[in-house]
Structure 1
């Protein structure tokens, strides 16, 4: 049986609380201020960073960590609002492509400062800035191990 030291256990429990609670808090902040959910924000952001601001639905699902059925529902909602356009892939009739519209770009740009303010208040302001570089390196190593 593997065990953790007392400090490792405290860290692990705190990290698990953050993993569960932080997305809810970020979602609440965005929804209240912009009308976008965190999931919708992530989808718009993923499209804005893609070549030609478009992605195949499967790639968009992977980029936003959503299931195929969930990404379809989110994109359909964003399309109904005029923020995304979904069309058949030109070279492959089996797949769809989602594209960011100018309205979607506008909504994303309006939500960006709200999201950053939420991230600052809920996370960055709680950290010791002197240890931030070390935290970045350590969490990048964890993230790399998960890729």
Structure 2
């Protein structure tokens, strides 16, 4: 068995800052969305993805990939969104096994209100505390991370 490729002190410091910062930022976004709009961050992400899709609908499998959720977790989240009247699910006309998730008009209205607060949270705790160069570096780095994960999966 080979020796692990341990992180040096600088890598370890940056890695821990990333983990701590991303967890705390996600907690703040989740708390704010729940408090102000009754949505979890995962519910919000589904509404965003559906709002950006043609006809505000996506196949569940495609939505799971876009929303970074397992199909099982997505199904539970969509159950909650359906109960709130924000999403409806229906069968695909061309594929009897396929299921679409569709953003309702009420779901779009809830998302519109939530997005106004959410963007302020993102600005306050992320965009406004880093430089444009740091933002470019983060965007570039995480594009590479996503690509590596896609290649591995």
Q: TM-score, normalized by length of structure 2?
A: 0.86
Q: CA separation of 1:73/1:14 partners in 2, compared to 1, >3 Å: closer, same or farther? A: same
Indicate whether 1:113 and 2:116 are aligned. Answer: yes
Correspondence 1:1-147 to 2 at 5 A: 1=3, 2-147=5-150
Q: How far apart in 1 are the matches of 2:119 and 2:63?
A: 22
Q: How far apart in 2 are the matches of 1:133 and 1:92?
A: 41
Root-mean-square deviation (Å): 1.7
Query: C-alpha displacement at 1:9, in angstroms?
Result: 1.1
Q: Deviations over 1:103-133 (max 9, x none)?
A: 1111111111111111112222322345333
Which blocks of at least 5 consecutive residues in structure 2 are unaligned? Answer: none
Q: CA separation of 1:67/1:132 partners in 2, compared to 1, >3 Å: closer, same or farther? A: closer
Query: How many aligned positions are there?
Result: 147
Which blocks of at least 5 consecutive residues in structure 1 are unaligned? Answer: none
Q: CA separation of 1:43/1:132 partners in 2, compared to 1, >3 Å: closer, same or farther? A: closer
